[in-house]
Amino acid sequence: MPTEELKDDAAKYLMQTYTRQPVSIVRGRGAKVYDLEGREYLDFVGGIAVNVLGHGHPDLVQAIQRQAAQLIHTSNLYYTEPQVKLARLLVDHSFADRVFFCNSGAEANEAAIKLARRYGHERHGPDRYEVITMKNSFHGRTLGMLTATGQEKVQKGFEPLMPGFGYAPFNDFGAIESMVNEKTAAIMLEPIQAEGGVHVADRDYLRSLRELCTQQDTLLIFDEIQTGMGRTGTFFAHEQLGVKPDIMTLAKGLAGGVPIGACLAKESVAAAFTPGSHASTFGGNPLACAAALAVCRVLLEGKVLDQARRMGEYLAKGLADCKDRHRIVKDVRGLGLLQGMELETDARTVVADALARGVLINAATERVLRFVPPLVITQLEVDKLIDLLDILFNQRQTAGKDSHY
């Protein structure tokens, strides 16, 4: 089906919930994807931080093929080996003792909030239900999670929202400290606010939150849906930031593109969930868990994580050097292969121009470009991105001078 015909059918039959780029992606290999007409693109979007092993990684493909031929789905009324093996692997390589599996990041965050409220109810009574999240945060688009998301533009038109949520400025411990009271069940945040413009949490801020939560028996929840699975150069981002949560959520890169979500918790917290208190029909299905096991094993072998660390540093330096060359660039920030570049102009026009030149990038906000490539990205591919940004920014600066005169 030609791209224009595909676009017409999408406009006719799909609910219009996405603003899509005018391209149809049909296949991928490594950090490159190809459209319906055969054009090649360098992928610095990675399915929005999902394709951590790149496209077509043989270990992931083979794991999916083997499991699909054996068993795709059965009910959580029965045991399945891939689910139990994946849970054990995640527990063995994290702070957590138990895992609940679901199908997406929003679902994982819903599970985290339910678990925190259930824990608060059992330990402190029914008034322990409030959750503090951060302004400018993003936790998903279910009704519960758009309430947790500290952005009015996401919430607009869906009122009344769920009760029991408050919002604090990110990286402002004093503000949170003043909000915590006997009703506070949990504090929830992203170690890096990716959708909010790529803002990294301060180490001292996180340490202070950890101490406060421990003192108050308030649960600390880390949403690592975008930052986890090697994105920042370690298995989880909080490993670099020196603070362990009570609950952590994962999704996106966990299965390298197969839908899955996970809510991890310490034993004392996880015990609040009992049979019937939470469930998911497809959560932890054999196919998704087999894919996630393959991804985790590749990451834990170390080579890809080493590559992610090296390329994260190389990308950050390349973007910082680019900033020094162009007044149009206001700031560069991030950690590992989650980098943001704040511009003095509309970032969305840069996205469109990059697409036309064969590079996929994304605008997290109107002024911030976000770069979340596969962890297997190479130095030459990063160089190609930086060279293109130089060209695009030079064009804008030249056009600005011409219009001035």
- Which of the residues are catalytic? 138, 223, 252
In the block, residue with structure tokens 């609910």: 15
Q: Please name the helix (run of DSSP H) or strand (run of DSSP E) that holds residue 342, with its range, or none.
A: strand 338-343
In the block, residue with structure tokens 């299905």: 285
> CA-CA distance, 108 to 115, in Å (whole number)?
10
Burial class (CB in 10 A: 0-12, 13-18, 19+), 239: middle
What are the percentages of helix, strand and coil residues in the chain, rounded to 5?
45, 20, 35
> CA-CA distance, 217 to 14, in Å (whole number)?
46
> CA-CA distance, 350 to 329, in Å (whole number)?
12
Three-point CA angle 176, 177, 182, nearest 5°: 105
Report the Cα 11 to chain-centroid distance in Å: 27
Residues 6+ positions from 147 with CB-CB distance below 8 Å = 155, 161, 162, 165
